[in-house]
Structure 1
Amino acid sequence: MDPESVRAGSRVPHGGTTDPTVLDFSANTNPERPDGVEAVYREAFDASTRYPDDDYADFRAAAGDYVGCVPEAVVPTAGGLEALRLAFEVTLSPGDTALVPEPSFGEYDREIRLQGAEPVAVAHDAILDADPADHAVAVVCTPNNPTGELAPADDLRAFAARCREADTVLVVDEAFLDFTDEPSLAGEPGVVVARSLTKMFGLPGIRAGFAVATGDLGDRLAVARRAWSLSTPAAAVGAYCMDDAEFVSRTRARVSAERERLRETLSDAFAVSPSDAPFLLVDVGDRDVDAVVETARDRGVAVRDATTFPTLDSHVRVAVKRPDENDELLRALAAVADDV
């Protein structure tokens, strides 16, 4: 990390609210968790008087099965964002440049700049057509946050091949990929995959995730990883959750059905982008976004002000939750349509 760049850095706004009196649609986390996870956490808590086994064999094995790679390629991290920071730390030097999609997750810009490198923005729907030559890193988010579209698998693999030819490391953020049936790029040469267990399993406070890379790139990640990078409860809960294929399948089906219901209903009053993710990007038109957010909150619902994403100036983002909760969102946004 570059000390001078840290001095010039700043924090990035995110969704999420600590107000327990409102339904939170501003953060894209599953409102449900696998059965039995609380008991796993309690048992792991009792073992937390000792340092965790820094090899994390059970977690690596579960992660390898989850994304279809060998366990040796898995690098445990405290959430997907830690995986991204680790990837940038071992690939970027001051003065380097990195291709990033726009609009997309704001932490890419921040983390790249903290290394003293310069992010180069490319439209999110054109990133796979960009020329990676002369860039140290290229970043793809699939499905992209906040727009929601999935990168086509063939196009993504073709871009990965072009990155290898250009000696550019491809960092693929798959934080929301497990809400789709699309295969992971984990194990692809020259690629770092960043995964988060926050979204699918509804446990953002656990801080569990991992990176995947092979060859010299994987070796560098493994060396640079912080010792004891996962707490004992995070490792145990993460491994347990990733083994619950039925929970993942059930969640995908619910999110798919509810996302389409929300999109169809909201499209009567707003422009809603198609999505493969557990959220929808909503263009509120000429309505004041601050007023939209405030009106929804007055009706017990928190939505994400998406104008904090570059290039978006009339948008909010809403998560997809359970049917009864989604009904509350629809009622709140119906009031927005009438009142704002």
Structure 2
Amino acid sequence: MNDERARGVGPVAHGSSDDPELLDFSANTNPRTPPGVADVYEDALDRAGSYPPEPPNEYRETAAEYVDVTPESVVPTPGGLAAIRLAIALAVDPGDSALVPAPSFGEYAREIRLQGGTPSFVSPEAIVEADPADHALAVVCNPNNPTGEAIAQDDLRTFARRCRESDTTLLIDEAFLGYTDRPSMAGTEGVVVARSLTKLFGLPGIRAGFAVATGPFGEAMRNARRPWNLGAPALAVGSHCMRQGAFVEATRERVARERERMREALATRFDVHESEGPFLLLEVGDRPVGRFVAAVRERAVAIRDATTFRGLDSHVRVAVREPEANDRLLEVLTDV
């Protein structure tokens, strides 16, 4: 990365509303947080007068148990995006090409461009069929944001093998995998997994996540990670959340049940994508998306204008929230 490239690569549009008067369906974070978070945060804040341990071994051990890997392969990061940036910075040199899903999270392409690389876009469902040869990096978002589809484990493993044979780093963003019962690819040779604690545990402001990488690339990531890159509250709260198995299971069941209920109701008026994430992508047809979003907002509900995702020009994304809130969204979307 250099200053000239950074000046030429602008920010990516993201969802979520900070208006407390709106019922927010534009952000796809859990409306619930695990029990005990406030107490853990308060206790950790009392210890914030000194630097946290370096490396943060307790956090690494908890994350390792969370995704069933060795603690040595865990690289703590302040959120999943920091893990993505670190992996891309190490994998992509100026002039390199990288396979990137589209439509998907816009930060992948942005980070590649910041390193002087060129994103080569492939549809999310077809990216594991693409040829990784001549690409320094391949990115998979599983489940994909904003479409919601997930890729089968066997297909991911086959693609990972082809990436190894091509000497291509495979980065898998599992920010939403916790909403499914699919196994993580963490610990797979040649694969870097990025995990976020933002979405599943409803704590975007804590900024806690991690990467998992093995072999020489894992060593490079551990060496390149900034020391003290997570504060004491983030380490303590993150460790606490990853131990809350009952909360995770209850969240999966609630989101799956509500997502299907919402999909069935919305399918009477919109084309609705199948999803394994905590959100649904809706095609609104020939109605101008901006006007549609504004009309919903006039009813005190915020939804995500999905035209900010590459390749989408007539779509919105809605989160799956609590049943009562979901009822309000359905009422507005079937009437506006």
Could you tell me how far 1:3 is from its partner in structure 2? 3.0
**Distance in 1 separating the partners of 2:135 and 2:66:** 31
**Distance in 1 separating the partners of 2:4 and 2:159:** 33
**Distance in 2 separating the partners of 1:291 and 1:268:** 21
Percent of matched pairs sharing the same residue:
59
- Correspondence for 1:191: 191
For 1:61, the aligned partner's letter is: E
- Correspondence for 2:64: 64
- Correspondence for 1:80: 80
**Distance in 1 separating the partners of 2:288 and 2:279:** 21
Residues 64 and 70, structure 2, Cα contact 8 Å, conserved in 1: yes
1:81-126 deviation digits (Å, cap 9, x = unpaired): 0000000111111011100001000000100000011111011111
**Distance in 1 separating the partners of 2:197 and 2:321:** 17
For 1:213, the aligned partner's letter is: A
Could you tell me how far 1:155 is from its partner in structure 2? 0.3
For 1:249, the aligned partner's letter is: E
Residues 305 and 315, structure 1, Cα contact 8 Å, conserved in 2: yes
- Correspondence for 1:105: 105
Query: Helix, strand or coil for the counterpart of 1:276?
Result: coil
**Distance in 1 separating the partners of 2:54 and 2:7:** 32
**Distance in 2 separating the partners of 1:328 and 1:198:** 25
**Distance in 1 separating the partners of 2:296 and 2:53:** 46
- Correspondence for 1:161: 161
Q: What TM-score, normalized to structure 2? A: 0.99
Query: Helix, strand or coil for the counterpart of 1:265?
Result: helix
* Structure 1 spans left out of the alignment, 5+ residues: none
Could you tell me how far 1:135 is from its partner in structure 2? 0.4
Could you tell me how far 1:154 is from its partner in structure 2? 0.3
What are the equivalent positions in structure 2 for 1:170-189 lying under 5 Å apart?
170-189=170-189
Residues 25 and 304, structure 1, Cα contact 8 Å, conserved in 2: yes
- Correspondence for 1:143: 143
Residues 60 and 76, structure 1, Cα contact 8 Å, conserved in 2: yes
Residues 83 and 194, structure 1, Cα contact 8 Å, conserved in 2: yes
- Correspondence for 1:300: 300
1:18-64 deviation digits (Å, cap 9, x = unpaired): 10111111010000001110000001011101111121111111111
Structure 1 residue 122 corresponds to structure 2 residue 122: yes
Residues 2 and 94, structure 1, Cα contact 8 Å, conserved in 2: no
What are the equivalent positions in structure 2 for 1:220-259 lying under 5 Å apart?
220-259=220-259
Structure 1 residue 277 corresponds to structure 2 residue 277: yes
Residues 55 and 227, structure 2, Cα contact 8 Å, conserved in 1: no
1:140-195 deviation digits (Å, cap 9, x = unpaired): 00000000000111001100000000000000000000000000000001111000
- Correspondence for 1:6: 6
Provide the alpha-carbon RMSD of the alignment. 0.7
Query: Helix, strand or coil for the counterpart of 2:326?
Result: helix
- Correspondence for 1:326: 326
For 1:173, the aligned partner's letter is: D
Query: Helix, strand or coil for the counterpart of 1:335?
Result: coil
Deviates more, 1:164-173 or 1:325-334: 325-334
Could you tell me how far 1:2 is from its partner in structure 2? 3.2
- Correspondence for 2:51: 51
1:203-228 deviation digits (Å, cap 9, x = unpaired): 00000000000010110000110111
**Distance in 2 separating the partners of 1:84 and 1:3:** 20
Could you tell me how far 1:233 is from its partner in structure 2? 0.3
Query: Helix, strand or coil for the counterpart of 1:120?
Result: strand
Deviates more, 1:294-303 or 1:236-245: 294-303
- Correspondence for 1:133: 133
